[in-house]
Amino acid sequence: MIESQKKVRVRFAPSPTGYLHIGGLRTALYNFLFARQNSGVFALRIEDTDQKRFVQGAVENLINALRQMGLSWDEGIYINKQETKNNNQKIQNSTTYDGIVEAGNFGPYVQSERLELYKKYAEQLVADGKAYYCFCEPTRLEEMREQQQKEKLPPMYDRFCLATLSSEEINKKLEAKCPAVIRLKVPKDETIEFEDLVRGKVSFVTSTIDDQVLLKSDGFPTYHLANVVDDHLMEITHVIRGEEWLPSTPKHILLYQAFGWEQPLFAHIPLLLNADKSKLSKRQGDVAVEDYLKKGYLKEALINFVAMLGWNPGEGSVQEIFSLEELIQKFDLKKVHKAGAVFDLKKLDWINAQYLKKMSVDELYVAAKTFFEEKEFFKTWNMKHGAWSVKEKDEYLKKVLTIEQDRLANLSQVGDENEFFFKDIVCEKQLLYWKEMTAEQLKDSLQKSHTILSQTTEQQWTRELIEQHLLAAAGNNRGDLLWPLRASLTGVQKSPSPFDCAWVLGKKETLNRIENALNGI
């Protein structure tokens, strides 16, 4: 809990670029956890003022991905009225996005629906002498930049309009509808200092900060203006966001100061890195949450993994598996690391495997079914077994999963290591031989397995009894009996034990495969 008089209010404010980035999921998760820990409010706002980046369906995608991950929020945008939190909230349809509902008393929660507000606040800054109109044309700005480059100076607006235009001239230009932007008058030679909840004391000198554009000539705000106006009006107390926004923060603080508003607390969470320490990017692998779901990572595992990208409970704790409930209890913003967090797929595989192991076979089957259905070997098997009832097929797949459960890193791997459960096998003769055994010995061995398994009744066809019967017959030379049997059932060098394979295949198919092997010797 943090000691604060004010009710904690946080937000996740993605730009709808098409999908939920894994880093976005982490930002959303940390905000969610922080809000829940502090009985605060978590809002979902859409920052869509960069119209060039607009992607059809992106807002729905974002909402769906967050919901799929089990996150919930208290106000902002929703797909369904039913999902909004309480009846005291104002509810309205989004005017920008069909089928999107906005709920809460601080709306609209879509920035492109708040343009009038941004304009009003930008003009207020002009009236207060904190910002100014700039009518410079792109060609002039371009030349200025080239000159600065030549002189090895940082690219900064030279305040031409501020220095040369009288208020009459400005008004005339505005009346004549000359294209204009509004720029912040960034005070020179000041130091902006703030205490970041993750990074500690951070300071910037204003001499490196350009007189940034707040309102563009098309009437749209820039990210900085919209972000600050919204965080203020939505009474956001803590801004928890990715470190890539750290360089924007002094600009935001300057805006809070210019408006005379109290600034929120900031927490910049570490960058996500590839194994080679470069910034996590699409080029090096998947970055969309839905890609991981499609590959058969469980939402609980993804949440667990993402929570630990930049945080762990510390103090000698070795716990690595956390449910969402446990994360709400244990997550601590103060323990978030400063250093970049390496996105380690092996770790994700390990965490996912832990979750898969904990599932009942029935649960695993529900989760894995669609992954089977996509496999070619499954499609062929399914057609070939047209006479089987749905129940028989379900039972068969559950047996396969029982055997595979402890080895799966994700659900898209189902069946991959054990295609012989689904295919007719052709066992190479050589593979059947255990060490130096002769053809006669091989035949005897397979014949022995066949006899034992023929005498094992359908009722006795369990993993335990199959194993018991075979081991009892194998005596000390287990390889002599078990290797040829396993090879005859699977046709491959490596596979689960012959007991498990026989159990899955069933009595009839097991005996068939042994007979086929015998016939081939």
Active site residues: 282
Return d(Cα 521, Cα 517) in angstroms, integer.
Answer: 7
CB of 13 to ligand GLU, least distance (A): 4
Helix (H, G, I), strand (E, B) or coil at 85: coil
Return d(Cα 514, Cα 521) in angstroms, integer.
Answer: 11
Number of residues that make up the chain: 521
Yes or no: say if 231 and 221 are a contact pair by the CB < 8 Å rule.
no
Choice between 45 and 486, CB closer to ligand GLU:
45
- Of the listed pieces 7-15, 69-77, 92-100, 442-450, which binds ligand GLU according to CB under 6 A? 7-15
E strand or H helix at 202, and its extent? strand 200-205
Gyration radius from the chain CA atoms: 32
Binding to ligand GLU by residue 15, rule CB under 6 A? yes
Return d(Cα 432, Cα 489) in angstroms, integer.
Answer: 10
Choice between 215 and 437, CB closer to ligand GLU:
215
What's the sign of the alpha-carbon dihedral 327, 329, 330, 331? Answer: positive
Binding to ligand GLU by residue 47, rule CB under 6 A? yes
CB of 384 to ligand GLU, least distance (A): 50
Choice between 222 and 410, CB closer to ligand GLU:
222
Question: Sheet containing 91-93: which strands, arranged edge to edge?
Answer: 9-12, 41-44, 75-78, 101-103, 91-93
- Of the listed pieces 10-18, 36-44, 405-413, 448-456, which binds ligand GLU according to CB under 6 A? 10-18
Question: In this structure, what token pair is assigned to residue 462?
Answer: 């369990």
Choice between 130 and 241, CB closer to ligand GLU:
241
What's the sign of the alpha-carbon dihedral 322, 324, 326, 329? Answer: positive
Choice between 252 and 330, CB closer to ligand GLU:
252
CB of 55 to ligand GLU, least distance (A): 13
Choice between 211 and 231, CB closer to ligand GLU:
231
CB of 23 to ligand GLU, least distance (A): 9
CB of 117 to ligand GLU, least distance (A): 17
Question: In this structure, what token pair is assigned to residue 125?
Answer: 């800054």
- Residue 117, Cβ neighbours under 10 Å: how many? 17
- Of the listed pieces 13-21, 30-38, 206-214, 450-458, which binds ligand GLU according to CB under 6 A? 13-21
CB of 198 to ligand GLU, least distance (A): 14
Looking only at residues 215 through 254 of this chain, which bind ligand GLU when binding is defined by CB under 6 A? 227, 241, 245
Q: Which of 350, 348, 290, 301 is nearest to 327 (CA)?
A: 301
Choice between 14 and 108, CB closer to ligand GLU:
14
CB of 63 to ligand GLU, least distance (A): 15
CB of 47 to ligand GLU, least distance (A): 4
Choice between 245 and 259, CB closer to ligand GLU:
245
CB of 96 to ligand GLU, least distance (A): 16
> What is the DSSP secondary-structure string of 107-169?
---BGGG-HHHHHHHHHHHHHTTSEEEE---HHHHHHHHHHHHHTT-------HHHHH--HHH
Beta bridge partners of 43: 11, 75
Choice between 245 and 461, CB closer to ligand GLU:
245
Beta bridge partners of 206: none
Helix (H, G, I), strand (E, B) or coil at 265: strand
Q: Which of 13, 161, 253, 408 binds ligand GLU (CB under 6 A)?
A: 13
Looking only at residues 243 through 302 of this chain, which bind ligand GLU when binding is defined by CB under 6 A? 245
Those residues whose C-beta lies under 8 Å from the C-beta of residue 152, and which sit 6 or more positions away, are: none
Maximum Cα–Cα distance across the chain: 109
Return d(Cα 476, Cα 180) in angstroms, integer.
Answer: 91
Return d(Cα 84, Cα 43) in angstroms, integer.
Answer: 11
Q: Which of 452, 326, 470, 426 is nearest to 37 (CA)?
A: 326
x/- map, 175-214, ligand GLU, by CB under 6 A: ----------------------------------------
- Of the listed pieces 12-20, 254-262, 315-323, 328-336, which binds ligand GLU according to CB under 6 A? 12-20
Q: How many residues bind ligand GLU (CB under 6 A)?
A: 7
Yes or no: say if 135 and 173 are a contact pair by the CB < 8 Å rule.
yes
Those residues whose C-beta lies under 8 Å from the C-beta of residue 138, and which sit 6 or more positions away, are: none
Choice between 222 and 352, CB closer to ligand GLU:
222
CB of 57 to ligand GLU, least distance (A): 17
Yes or no: say if 324 and 439 are a contact pair by the CB < 8 Å rule.
no
Q: Which of 8, 9, 10, 14 binds ligand GLU (CB under 6 A)?
A: 14
Binding to ligand GLU by residue 340, rule CB under 6 A? no
Site residues, ligand GLU (CB under 6 A): 13-15, 47, 227, 241, 245
